[in-house]
Structure 1
Amino acid sequence: MNLHTLAIPTFTQMLRALSAQLDKGAELARAKGFEPSVLPQSRLAPDMFPLAAQVKFTCFQASDAVARLTGQAPRVMPGDETTVEGLKAVIAETIADLEATPEAAFAGAEDRMIELKMANGLIFDMNGLQFLRDWSLAQFYFHLVTAYDILRHNGVPLGKPDYVPHALPYLRPGTAPGA
């Protein structure tokens, strides 16, 4: 398996789920009579980033991973979008960029050396496989799940099917435990 096969479908299917979760959040806001613009500023704890930042970090982790794995310059964080519509636009743009990346661009990505400079001066040195497996996917899912949790915390009726809708085609009826 090459890294394109792992990265692109993983990132895009989860970003599509996140976009649908934001739709459910906006629907709830309208049904409850409050402005959907409240949701992007919501957070789980005072010292955590709000939903808007979690969505942007999720998109950044996906696009930055693909850029670095394909030998492009590291990406910059998306702008200062603070509305559900703006965040959905960032997600859509990220998905389009990811899907436009040809499989051939990932040639040699597993062994490509990645230097990840942190704001505090620390530097991670990893090959492409290590970078995707040990850094990018972990960071991507951290921010993705935090966005989901913020929406749930605000009463958005989300469940496992909203988180992994791409897995539902694999579902088949079975025998219930204890039956």
Structure 2
Amino acid sequence: MSSLYDISIPVYTDITKTAVSILKKGEEHFKSQGKDTAELLKLKIADDMLPLNMQILIIVMTGRKLVERVANAAPVDTPINQEYTLAELQGLLDAQLAELAKVDRAQVDGREQTEVPCKFGPEEYKSSALDYVSGYPIPTGYFHLNMLYALLRGAGVPLGKRDYMAEFMKKMTKA
């Protein structure tokens, strides 16, 4: 049976690792094309959409809130309005992976019914930690990872489904 830890920390770790790997492919592609990687961070599908840099920041911020809420850890402050370079964003993703790796199963399991806050834009919610995990950070992480993938793919980065699925399938064995 899966625990709160199983459905949260490892899943968000895979989301973050996938963001790291596809962002690296995007950087390599832009460099090989002689393009400025700063332009990579400005990519949008539509004018009213957040740019690529914000997709990464939201993945980071949501992961940090996940750790804070389900593991009862101290919050990590990262200003979301700052204009980060590609290297700084990659550093934030790496720091998030280190933070996720520090979470011990014992910090999370047993907190399923603990009430946690959740803010979605200007709206505030509260729920059990279990409902929070399945209702906010996991779908939000996937949403912004999908946007990151779509933005890179739309910019000509040679990504395929295997690039997206690799981290999620590592625990599977070939039949």
TM-score (norm. length: structure 1): 0.87
Root mean square deviation of aligned Cα: 1.9
Alignment of 1:1-179 (within 5 A): 1-72=2-73, 76-79=77-80, 80-120=82-122, 122-166=123-167, 167=169, 170=172, 172=174
Instruction: Check whether the contact 1:60–1:78 (CA below 8 A) recurs between aligned residues.
Output: no
Q: Which of 1 and 2 has higher RCO (CA within 8 Å, sep 6+)?
A: 2
Distance 1:144 1:92 in 2: 15
Runs of 5+ unmatched residues, structure 2: none
Question: Kindly, what percent of the aligned residue pairs are identical?
Answer: 27
Task: Give the drift of 1:155.
Answer: 0.7
Q: Hey, what does 1:176 align to over in structure 2?
A: none
TM-score (norm. length: structure 2): 0.88
Distance 1:111 1:53 in 2: 31
Instruction: Check whether the contact 2:15–2:141 (CA below 8 A) recurs between aligned residues.
Output: no
Instruction: Check whether the contact 1:161–1:168 (CA below 8 A) recurs between aligned residues.
Output: no
- Whose Rg is larger? 1
Distance 1:93 1:153 in 2: 28
Number of aligned residues: 172
